[in-house]
Amino acid sequence: MALTQVSSNKCAGGFQKVFEHDSTELKCKMKFAVYLPPKAESDKCPVMYWLSGLTCTEQNFITKAGSQQAAAEHGIIIVAPDTSPRGCSIEGEDDSWDFGTGAGFYVDATQEPWKTNYRMYSYVTEELPKLINSNFPTDPDRMSVCGHSMGGHGALICALKNPGKYKAVSAFSPICNPMQCPWGQKAFSGYLGSDKSTWEAYDATVLAASYSGPQLDVLIDQGRDDQFLSASQLLPDNLIAACSEKKIPVVFRLQPGYDHSYFFIYSFMNDHIKHHAKYLSA
């Protein structure tokens, strides 16, 4: 699978790059960002996957989160894919900001007209890691996942659905119980259909309640002044209850004064990379 380099910028001693490729899962051209720390010039490095939120592309994280310095210090490659297929000419794909383009919700759609292209779950868990491992100096056994909002939901379900695959997971203001919130209900109805039993496979709170795998240490940061927290879109309490029931260790930090933005992510990014580094170190 051929990669085309779109951009390359020296950053924190390493390189922040963006590549484009033809995706077999999504049947369209996709871009992803990859940060290669200085260590990658001479050694294999673990990989942290970052999953972004609604409306984002691969650009938001690499220009706003300030992740490169800590990734350079800990010798971690960071991969940030886009949030949905692009330019698939599906009727309605650009009609709303929280469904379709920029809003793939990290599920494999089963409904027309979405099911051919909207397979972000398989893309981020299967196709993308294979592509990264065959083109960059990675240690394929050491990967982790992290994300924000819709991407926080993505990170949590990737880790919970694949016990042992990801060495660590963390999230910023994740959509924790999508079956119970307006964003999730809209996305799941459209992509997965009206049978709500099929939604459970992509709901972190439901998945946590039935998790049986190696211990997963979860770190979640949530801004207390997040408008989507007060609008009941995120529902972290439901996930925390499910995790404590299953004795899944969660560090949940409610950060006073912070909102839902990348200013919040930037403020605590180093803590998250440190959390990942702890579990990714050989």
* Annotation says 276 is catalytic: no
Encoding tokens for residue 175?
Answer: 């959509």
Q: Of the residues 67, 144, 149, 173, which is catalytic?
A: 149
Contact of 175 with 157, CB cutoff 8 Å: no
* Annotation says 74 is catalytic: no
* Annotation says 226 is catalytic: yes
Indicate the helix (H) or strand (E) that contains 277. helix 262-280
Amino acid at the residue 65: A
Q: Of the residues 74, 82, 226, 272, which is catalytic?
A: 226
The DSSP secondary structure of 165-230, one letter per residue, reads T-S-EEEES----GGGSHHHHHHHHHHH-S-GGGGGGG-HHHHHHT--SS---EEEEEETT-HHHH
Q: In angstroms, rounded to a whole number, what is the distance separating the alpha carbons of residues 188 and 65?
A: 28
Q: Of the residues 74, 148, 153, 260, which is catalytic?
A: 260
Q: Which residues contact 279 (CB under 8 A, 6 or more apart)?
A: 144, 167, 168, 217
Q: Which residues of 70-101 are buried (b: 16+ CB within 10 A; e: fewer)?
A: bbbbbbbbbbbbbbbbbebebeebeeeebbbb
- Which sequence positions are flagged as catalytic? 149, 226, 260
